[in-house]
Structures are given as C-alpha cells and as structure tokens.
Amino acid sequence: MSRLNYHHLYYFWRVAREGKLTQVADSLHLSQSALSAQIRKLEERLDKPLFERRNRALVLTEAGRRVFNYAEAIFTKGEELESLISRGIEPEYQRLRIGTLSTMSRNFIESFVAPLLHQPEQRVHFSLHARGMADLLDGLARHEFDVVLTNTQLPSSHSQAAAWQSQLLARQPLSIIGPPGTAPGTPFPTGFEDSRWILPGEHHEIRRAFDGHCSLYQYRPKILAEADDMAMLRLLARDSGALSVLPEVVVKDELQQGRLTRLEQLPNVFENFYAITLPREFMPGVVSELLARPLGDMASTDQPPPGHHA
C-alpha cells in the first residue's frame, strides 16, 4: 500500500506556516528548487494543488488548508511527544480552536471560555472564529475546530449530521427586557398595547417562540426594528427605549448596572446553547473539562430579583 511521505508533508507544513519558500529552504539547508520539487511530489501523491501564486505570494488552496490543518496537528504533537519522552516535559499549553455562531450572544461565549481566562498558569491557547452555521459545520468536518458553539439545533439535512455530537450546555429563559420604569404592573399582554418592540428576525428561534406566545393572547406587537445579531439587539434594547425579548445573558451587564430591567419571564420558553463536536478517540482534555461544567453555569446573569413576576 502506498504511504504518505512525511518528509514531503513536513516541508509543505513549514512553507505553509512561514509563508516564504526561500526562507524555509535556507533554514532546511535545501535549494529552493529542491524544496519546490518535494512539495510537488506531495501534490502529485494527493492529486491536489496545495498552493497557488497570487502577486508572487504563495497562498493555500482549499485542499492546502485542509492538509495544513492535519499537518499542524501531526507535527505539533510530534514536538510534544519528543519533549515528553526525552525530557519528561508535558506540553506547555494546549491549542483549542472554537467556532462560534456569528449571531449568538458574546456574553455567553465569554462565559464559556471564562475558565480559560483565569488559569493559575497559562496552559491553553484558544482562538475564537465567528461564522455562519454552514461554515461552522463544514469547518468542524475539516477538523478546523475542536468544538462549535451555537444556539440553534443541528440541521438534519447536512451530509455529516449523523457523525456530529451535540451537547446541551445551558438553557436560558426568555424575558421581556426594557428600560427601568416601563413595567405596566400587569401580566403580559395587559398594559403592553402601546409598547414598541425590538425583536429578532421572523426566522429566528427566539422570535418564533415569542410569536407563539403572543398568539395565545391574540397580541400583535408594534415592531420598531428587527435584528438577528445578538450584539446588535443588545445595543438597540439598551439605547432605543423600546422593549425586547432576549435571554438575560445577552444583556447581563445592563441588567446588573440598572440600565435595563426584566419586566417578566416568558413561561416555558427557553433559548438553548449547544456544543457540537465530532467523535474523537482522543478528545483534548480542555474540551472535556469545559463540556463537563454543570448545566446552567454558563447562562447565569446574577440578576437581582425583578419587581414583577409573570
């Protein structure tokens, strides 16, 4: 059986990581033409171009990016193994790549990575990558991410859906949020007839949940604006004077500061936060630690009891 030549892969990895063929050739004591020839052999073995030239610069192709991700893991682990066996040195830090849905709450993401920010010794280097759902799942399948954070359920139509593992991290009740002093003092919808609303778009799960709640009372909200992005909703809720429907984690700072208040929680309506991973024989220890945290820890707002309950 034909085997991958790891010398060729190593040469490719060095060039992809450092970006300059001449510099890598010098450090490896090879001629530039010899180094190029070794990388071409890898491309022939894989039957894919790994680089393309743009304005005299080497740029990874899509296949090159995939190969680089694997090579990065292979040779980084090789360096760690050599240090462990020869000198008994554990890896200085772990690398953790986290994909996040671009429209979800930044406060929730921060709460998820909070244990990494307060380590007594810096042992994890993590990176955050915000993308759309399709790009996140494709990136996960290509091993670009160790874990993906999302507040939407997995689409069953995706070709890799059966391979993913989805874990519920936290669930946050949806609340009617508004400026202090705007509570009508009566349960929804009484007293909300003239209220203006800032809401997620009509296809957002939070919006669908709120629309379903409104339909129970035949209530039609007067919508001032719509936005799917949670960071934008947070700003609009804070600055517009209108009411909004959000999980409290999105506006936890404003709630703690008294700039916004919870008018009431919607009964039996929640936003769920998920972690998506691929089954792996060796799950990075830091991922297991983060996913093992108790349900709900990542959605706490420490909000003082509101003056009115539903």
Q: Does residue 296 carry a pLDDT above 70?
A: no
For 142-167, what is each residue's pLDDT tens digit?
778 889 999 887 766 555 555 678 89
Helix, coil or strand: residue 78:
helix
Which token pair is 44?
Answer: 């022939």
Q: Please check the confidence at residue 259 and state whether its pLDDT lies above 90.
A: yes
What value does the mean pLDDT of the chain take? 83
Q: What is the share, in percent, of the chain residues with pLDDT greater than 70?
A: 84
Confidence label for 2 from pLDDT (cuts 50, 70 and 90): low
pLDDT tens-digit profile of 214-251? 999 999 999 999 998 888 999 999 999 999 999 888 89
**Model pLDDT, residue 196:** 95
Output the CA–CA distances (angstroms, integers) from residue 194 to 166, 216, 219, 261, 266, in the order listed.
Answer: 41, 18, 11, 18, 19
Q: Which of 226, 221, 247 is nearest to 236 (CA)?
A: 226
What mean pLDDT comes out for the span 261-282?
Answer: 84
User: H helices within 88-142, ranges in order?
Assistant: 106-117, 133-141
What does the longest C-alpha to C-alpha distance in the chain come to?
80
CA proximity to 170, closest of 214, 104, 227, 228:
104
- Per DSSP, the three-state class of 277 is strand
Q: Which two tokens stand for residue 151?
A: 């507040």
What is the band of 182 on the pLDDT scale with cuts at 50, 70, 90? confident
In whole angstroms, give the CA distance from residue 20 to residue 27: 11
Tokens of 96: 């953790």
Whole-angstrom distance, CA of residue 188 vs CA of residue 219? 9
Whether pLDDT at 309 is above 50: no
**By C-alpha distance, which of 166, 173, 151 is closest to 303?**
173
Q: Residue 307: what pLDDT?
A: 38
- Would you say the C-alpha torsion 45, 46, 48, 52 has a positive or negative sign? negative
**pLDDT grade for 301, boundaries at 50, 70 and 90:** very low
pLDDT score at 156: 63
Distance of CA 223 to the CA centre of its chain: 29
pLDDT higher than threshold 90 for residue 287: no
pTM above 0.95?
no
Alpha carbon separation from 148 to 10, 30, 111, 164 (Å, rounded) = 28, 40, 15, 11
User: Is 221 within 8 Å of 195 (Cβ atoms)?
Assistant: yes
Q: Go through the domains of the chain in sequence order and give each one's CATH number.
A: 6-87 (1.10.10.10), 95-170+274-299 (3.40.190.10), 173-270 (3.40.190.290)
pLDDT at 283 over 90: no
Report whether 177 contacts 261 (CB < 8 A): yes
Average pLDDT over residues 112-127: 80
What's the confidence (pLDDT) of residue 228? 87
